[in-house]
Amino acid sequence: MSMDIGRRLKQLRILRGLTQEEMADRCELSKGFISQVERNLASPSIATLTDMLEVLGTTLPEFFAVPSQEQVVFSENDMFEKEDGELGRKVVWLVPDAQKNRMEPMLITLSPGGRTEEMGPHEGEEFGYVLQGSLQLVLGGKIHRLKAGSSFSLHPSQPHHLINKSKKNAKFLWISTPPSF
């Protein structure tokens, strides 16, 4: 896989809001030469390329670095599952190592009588979407009833937890930002 150096240089120049003339002036090169390099009709020397990249706010190693392939899609094999029999709770972390991200999506199943741990007030936001069953969100001293198809969104300024008081499993998607686990 060869790199299209001219195209990359042109993209960077446009990203920086420079015309070919401005680029040429800053690099002490001709506009014609910049145009030829961008069309891969001329090859700059390493020294000239280094100067061009400096004007464009980057370096040789950064320019030629192969972008790391960040994983975008996750299968069940990537996910981490933890069952807590005492609380009647099963948690599936849907994105591995989400603690390093800004949000943490989890799939939680509460068996009848199951509950999440009580969490105190904290920074950030929490969002939940009930996939099946019914739940009670206990926020401060207030109880909010949730059923399949309903969602909750909160800035946790009070202690809170979820509880399944029904006779069937309840399953919900829970996303917290920043990660809380």
User: What are the pLDDT digits (tens) for 32-46?
Assistant: 999 999 999 999 999
**CA gap 23, 102 in Å, rounded:** 37
Name the pTM for this structure.
0.61
Cα distances (angstroms) measured from residue 109 to each of 73, 96, 134, 163: 22, 18, 11, 11
Angle (CA) 98-100-106 rounded to 5° is 20
Domains of the chain are 5-64 (1.10.260.40), 76-177 (2.60.120.10)
Q: What are 59-104's pLDDT values in tens digits? A: 998 888 877 677 888 888 888 888 988 889 999 989 887 767 788 8
